Amino acid sequence: MPNQHKKLGLKAFILLILLSIFSCSMADLEVGDMAPNFTLEDQTNSMQSLSDYKGKWVVLYFYPKDDTPGCTTQACEFRDATERIIASKAVVFGVSIDSIESHKEFAEKYQIPFSLLSDESGRVSKQYDSLNDLFVFKVSKRNTFIVDPQGKIARIYLSVKPQGHAEMVLNELGSLQQTYQ
């Protein structure tokens, strides 16, 4: 009988993990929805609120972990596109559940000129359907949202590939801005 309990316990645990994965990956936000407001601290200890950027285009990208290969590629591509993003009258924010100190080291190491927002609780990542929460292990998903000047979600990218993503977002931002006018 004890072996049956162990087997049932393991099956229940695996089922809970699978349910958690699938329930976390189901996107509730859609294009046209109001982007959930947030206030988070960045690597310079400044508070950033989405509502402060009403009237501007916002690129909000979620990423798993500072200073890992894919996240570094993605951050550096956005860094290299910063002048074009500013010229398009937009602002970019990177968001992960890493600490402010981790963001600070990452930003200094790679000269990241935009705000990296610390969402240690995972609350904002969860609001944006961008959190993998496996009980004791949490990590932000690699999703990106373009928010229009009225605060509505204009474009959603799920499970993006880091390489080439910034260019794709910039191209889409340009198209969205032309149709928005």
Radius of gyration from C-alpha coordinates of the chain: 18
Of the residues 50, 58, 60, 71, only one is catalytic, namely 71
Q: What is the 3-state secondary structure (H, E, C) of 104-131?
A: HHHHHHHCCCCEEEECCCCHHHHHCCCE
Structure tokens belonging to residue 45: 């200890």
Instruction: Say which residues have a Cβ less than 8 Å from residue 13's Cβ, sequence separation at least 6.
Output: none
Q: How far is residue 168's CA from residue 162's CA, in Å, rounded to a whole number?
A: 10
CA dihedral of 163, 128, 114, 92, whole degrees rounded to 10: 80
Q: Is 71 one of the catalytic residues?
A: yes
Cα 133–chain centre separation: 14
State the catalytic residues. Answer: 71
